[in-house]
Chains A and B, each alone.
Chain A
Amino acid sequence: MSATAEPEKGGFRLSQLIYDTRYRSMTIQIIALIGFLLSVGWLIRNAGQNLAELGKPLGFGFLTEQAGYDINQRLIEYNSQMTHGRAAVIGLLNTLLVAFLGCITATVIGVSIGVLRLSKNWIVSRLMTLYIEMFRNVPVLLWIIITMAIFIEVFPQPRDFRGEDAIATMKLFDSIAITNRGILIPALAYGPGIVLVFITFVLSLIGIVFFRRYAKKLQEETGKILPSGLISTGIFFVPTLVVFFAATMINLNKEHVVFGAKTLTLNADNSISADSGIRFCDTGGAGNVNAKNLMRANGIKFKSVPSYDLADSLTRMSSGNTRTGCDIATVPSGTALPEGLFVSEGISLYSGRPIELEKPYLSGFNFTDGVLMRNSLIALWFALSLYTAAFIAETVRSGIQAVSKGQTEAAGALGLRPGRITSLVVLPQALRVIIPPMISQYLNLTKNSSLAIAVGYMDITGTLGGITLNQTGREMESLIILMAIYLAISLTISTIMNQYNERVKLRER
């Protein structure tokens, strides 16, 4: 076409905004945008004005006021004298904890289920289908509540562990107690030399990485295959254990002793006795665990009083306070002691090990010592993981099925075994399909964790959006902060996952 009509070079007329298709869509969009902004502005202005009329102008000063309530699960120091802001941080950490644990377990369970669903074994694949449909089609809140209800009803209460013919017993050499208030696992108590053991362990891990690289290089260059599994295991255990025992031997040269205003008495039959109700200054080290085990083994009833360090213990001993004071403590022998305090003669309690397991021990209403994983945390974690895992499994399945069958067959033709085909050929390609939907599953899990209050888990919704909101009456402010926090968490997760996605995605040259 040679005779193309030149467009008329007229000036821009206002009516073109409506009648000219080049501008019309833009006009409509701009009008819609203005309308939207106006209505948002009206909503905000109205809310602000009404809050002011109610005598509650927007303000965040309440965050620095005293909270006044206690929180059971605290990852950092907190008591009821601290501020609402601090309580919110405690809640935030709890949210992050359950989200982190949940994402990991959901991934592990989800990937396994997703792979198993494609199993050629009829029963296995049907069972997995059943699992996925069951979890995917029931609201997560119900799963959380039912998990908690089962947890509370099935497991024994702490007082069932008491007595000669107790209904319940502790598991795994008396180191784990499963109660309906939570699961207690041993805590680690550290003694001198722990830093050395830890450094050795980290160095061994680095060593394993280097060894593996070397083994691979050797294999590529010469074809020689080293027994890398065996050697890695060796590097993992041997140096650390050697340092551990060496530290123990050195420690044993310097005995820990019990001292205090009161003392333990060594009887003629080698048993040990003490005044009943003696109070032990518990600073939490390995020597303390030895002392507590010794007293318990001898049936001495004592009360454990938490104390920060030796100086604090000494203050507590001299304070005379019936509640916070204590009577005895442990100390490395040879430490200079103030007047009026005595060393318990002839009592040897020290194992010298740089790490001691502090096992849970039933005393009073609850187990003391050890680490308590509360029923609320476990129920929430468990329910969120299982629920999200069902979705992840579907994602994984679709990812695997997206890999062309020819790939599997080609790998088979090369003589690879089925396990290697999955790990070397299928999964790396499937990962590219799996990662993007996975991000939204992680986001879902994190957001669903706000249902925590259903089982009494004190997450950020429970502290800032629950008790703080209620006690201060600052609904608007609390919800704004809460939204901002969830938004920040979600954006962080997607940023991290997107970066990971960038790394694994198909690179086209």
Chain B
Amino acid sequence: MKKSVFIGTLAAVSVTAGMAAASTLDDVKAAGELKCGVSTGLVGFAAADANGVYHGFDVAVCRAVAAAVLGDGDKVKFVPTTGKTRFTALASGEVDMLARNTTWTFSRDVDLKFEFIGVNYYDGQGFMVPKALGVASAKDLDGATVCIQTGTTTELNLADYFRSNNISYEPVPIETNAEGQAQYLSGACDVYTTDASGLAATRATFEKPDDHVVLPEIISKEPLGPLVRHGDNQWGDIIRWTLNALITAEELGVTSANIDKMSMEAGNNPEINRLLGTEGDLGGMLGLDKEWAKRAVAQSGNYGEIFDSNIGEGSPVGIARGLNASWTDGGLLYTPPFR
């Protein structure tokens, strides 16, 4: 087995070299589909339904990019990746972009040679415990058994947090969210830790969500965002500005409901006009057509709509906007202008 992995790695690296010459945009257009790395199943962010169709907050970003580039948001091949395989998948060219609750960190950006193109969710690592334990704060967790997904920043944050608070813990490494749930629910670990959004999503799938609480401590900054490989700036720009288009659309009040009307002819707001392609040619600068952003927003709505339908308070996951509100509403979402 080891040997096949090794040769596979060799082969994958050799393939990358062949691809590095052509631009990712051309490759995607030639293939007629966008290969998008998503998580193996996290309700609200990326999960396949009974028919095998992917839905979720991260999935919507992939679809928006596919709509902008290929004109059809369904032309996406979703590649499920685990916390361990995601970077290899991206680096080897197995996927064109990664939208998988991935934390933007210095070493990933610089050392692993990836380009984070923005933040689509401001998150932080939290703890979930059964209510029956009567724990009110993470500082009471001395001696607890903690389930962590391996291959994430989570385990490093956890080690740092417990060390700086001088309390001990027993880490239980697990591979996937599903395994983590099984261990947590059977009591093989006291605490389940991952990003607070992931905890909320996981809790939503429990039979009795109210028996579990997410502790108030958020022990890390986890800006989650899509990422691409270093070296293809045009491709990076396309994804960065597709995400920005979704966020700006919300700020400007462009929704999936009114976008058709708004894009019929140039209106009074020049920024909306530039965004929707009725004025200027921002799309041409990206190597796309004029209506790229219109299609991206029309696909599953603006950022606010995507948030509400997948993970917002109306959905089973039930996360409040909090830091993820537009800057005009006191949140952190603030995009550079479209001009």
A453 & B145 in contact (Cβ 8 Å cutoff): no
Interface segment, one of A20-28, A244-252, A475-483, A499-507 = A475-483
B172 & A69 in contact (Cβ 8 Å cutoff): no
Chain A CB within 8 A of B260 CB: no
Chain B CB within 8 A of A55 CB: yes
Contacts of A54 in B (CB 8 A): 13, 16, 91, 113
B248 CB, min distance to chain A CBs, angstroms: 33
Chain B CB within 8 A of A47 CB: yes
B144 & A366 in contact (Cβ 8 Å cutoff): yes
Q: Restricting to B81-133, which residues have a CB under 8 Å from any CB of A?
A: 83-84, 87-88, 91, 107, 111-113, 132-133
CA distance A49 to B10 in the complex (A): 11
A323 & B166 in contact (Cβ 8 Å cutoff): yes
Q: Restricting to A57-100, which residues have a CB under 8 Å from any CB of B?
A: 68-72, 79-81
Please pick, from A47, A71, A323, the residue contacting B10 in the complex, using a CB distance under 8 A. A47
B13 & A50 in contact (Cβ 8 Å cutoff): yes
Chain A CB within 8 A of B163 CB: yes
Q: Restricting to B173-197, which residues have a CB under 8 Å from any CB of A?
A: 173-175, 179, 182-183, 186-190
Give the secondary structure class of A's interface.
helix
CA distance A111 to B77 in the complex (A): 51
Chain A CB within 8 A of B22 CB: no
Chain A CB within 8 A of B14 CB: yes
A69 & B87 in contact (Cβ 8 Å cutoff): no
Chain A CB within 8 A of B17 CB: yes
Q: Restricting to B1-55, which residues have a CB under 8 Å from any CB of A?
A: 1-3, 5-7, 9-10, 13-14, 16-17, 20
A481 CB, min distance to chain B CBs, angstroms: 11
Minimum CB distance partner of B112 in chain A:
A473
Contacts of B113 in A (CB 8 A): 54-56
B88 CB, min distance to chain A CBs, angstroms: 6
Please pick, from B2, B91, B144, B165, the residue contacting A486 in the complex, using a CB distance under 8 A. B2
Interface residue range, chain A: 35 or more
A466 & B111 in contact (Cβ 8 Å cutoff): no
B178 CB, min distance to chain A CBs, angstroms: 12
With A46-B17, A53-B17, A454-B175 given, is the CB distance from A466 to B166 under 8 Å? Answer: no
A368 & B155 in contact (Cβ 8 Å cutoff): no
Contacts of A354 in B (CB 8 A): none
A456 & B173 in contact (Cβ 8 Å cutoff): yes
Chain A CB within 8 A of B171 CB: yes
CA distance A54 to B1 in the complex (A): 26
B186 & A450 in contact (Cβ 8 Å cutoff): no
Interface residue range, chain B: 35 or more
B113 CB, min distance to chain A CBs, angstroms: 5
- Among B14, B107, B144, residue most surrounded by chain A Cβ atoms (within 10 Å): B14
Q: Restricting to A247-281, which residues have a CB under 8 Å from any CB of B?
A: none
- Among B132, B163, B188, residue most surrounded by chain A Cβ atoms (within 10 Å): B188
B155 & A482 in contact (Cβ 8 Å cutoff): no
Chain B CB within 8 A of A363 CB: yes
A470 & B144 in contact (Cβ 8 Å cutoff): no
CA distance A153 to B185 in the complex (A): 10
B87 & A159 in contact (Cβ 8 Å cutoff): no
Chain A CB within 8 A of B150 CB: yes
B151 & A466 in contact (Cβ 8 Å cutoff): yes
CA distance A363 to B144 in the complex (A): 10
Q: Mark A366-384, 1 if CB is under 8 A from B, else 0.
A: 1010000001100000000
A180 & B14 in contact (Cβ 8 Å cutoff): no
A69 & B2 in contact (Cβ 8 Å cutoff): no
CA distance A462 to B155 in the complex (A): 13
B3 & A483 in contact (Cβ 8 Å cutoff): yes
Q: Restricting to A114-142, which residues have a CB under 8 Å from any CB of B?
A: none
Minimum CB distance partner of B229 in chain A:
A54
B170 & A80 in contact (Cβ 8 Å cutoff): no
CA distance A454 to B190 in the complex (A): 20
B159 & A72 in contact (Cβ 8 Å cutoff): no
With A54-B113, A479-B5, A486-B2 given, is the CB distance from A49 to B174 under 8 Å? Answer: no
A193 CB, min distance to chain B CBs, angstroms: 32
Q: Restricting to A306-322, which residues have a CB under 8 Å from any CB of B?
A: none
CA distance A46 to B13 in the complex (A): 8
With A54-B91, A479-B5, A483-B2 given, is the CB distance from A181 to B17 under 8 Å? Answer: no
A450 & B91 in contact (Cβ 8 Å cutoff): no
Contacts of B111 in A (CB 8 A): 472-473
Q: Restricting to A379-419, which residues have a CB under 8 Å from any CB of B?
A: none
A483 CB, min distance to chain B CBs, angstroms: 5
Q: Restricting to B202-252, which residues have a CB under 8 Å from any CB of A?
A: 230
User: Which 6 A-B residue pairings sit nearest by Cβ, starting from the closest?
Assistant: A157-B187, A323-B166, A80-B159, A470-B151, A365-B144, A50-B17
Query: A68-B160, A365-B145, A366-B145 provided; 12 other pairs, C-beta below 8 A?
Result: A46-B17, A47-B9, A53-B17, A70-B171, A80-B163, A159-B133, A180-B186, A364-B142, A365-B142, A375-B188, A476-B13, A479-B6
25 interchain pairs, CB-CB under 8 A: A43-B7, A47-B9, A50-B13, A54-B13, A54-B16, A54-B113, A56-B113, A68-B159, A69-B159, A69-B171, A71-B171, A79-B163, A160-B187, A181-B145, A323-B167, A364-B143, A365-B142, A365-B145, A366-B144, A454-B175, A458-B173, A462-B173, A466-B151, A470-B84, A472-B111
